[in-house]
Amino acid sequence: MKIVRLLSTAALLLVSASTAAHDAVIPGRFLGEWNADPSQCGKGTEDSFLLIEPRRVSYWESSGPVRAVVVRGRELALILELSGEGETWLSATQFELSEDGKQLSWERASGEPFVRFRCPSPRHRSNNSSKPTPLRGAA
């Protein structure tokens, strides 16, 4: 009985998602780049890489449009249409944002949380160089 109820709920979500896909927008507090190792921010090469945009989510080896969004407090549930390595599939996932907005947790199948840290936005990221960046047009 639980399986029938779960499948019915999933079908309703998919119907709702297909009719309102253009309205599926992730709220700003969840947006940005997230990594398990903050030193990997901006590289996109770490397997924990996650980029959340208003209407799209990208992981290290897959990405795709958001088909449905549900927000409850600091919780975010998504249905995504992901593509990667020549295949496309639907993915349902749920995240929880920390109170300070600096950590995003995802619950693994084992029940343990997998935590990613918010990366600084590109315009606020330092270039970690000892040389100053020359101004445009400067000789």
What confidence tier does 55 reach under pLDDT thresholds 50, 70, 90? very high
Best CA proximity match to 64, nearest among 48, 50, 44: 50
pLDDT: is 24 or 3 the higher one? Answer: 24
pLDDT at 20: 47
Q: Are 52 and 31 in contact (CB under 8 A)?
A: yes
**For 82-93, how does the pLDDT look when each residue is reduced to its tens digit (9 = 90+)?**
999 999 999 999
Residues in the chain: 139
Rg over alpha carbons for the chain, rounded to the nearest Å, is 18
**For 16-37, how does the pLDDT look when each residue is reduced to its tens digit (9 = 90+)?**
544 444 579 999 999 999 999 9
For β-strands 63-72 and 113-118, DSSP reports them as unpaired
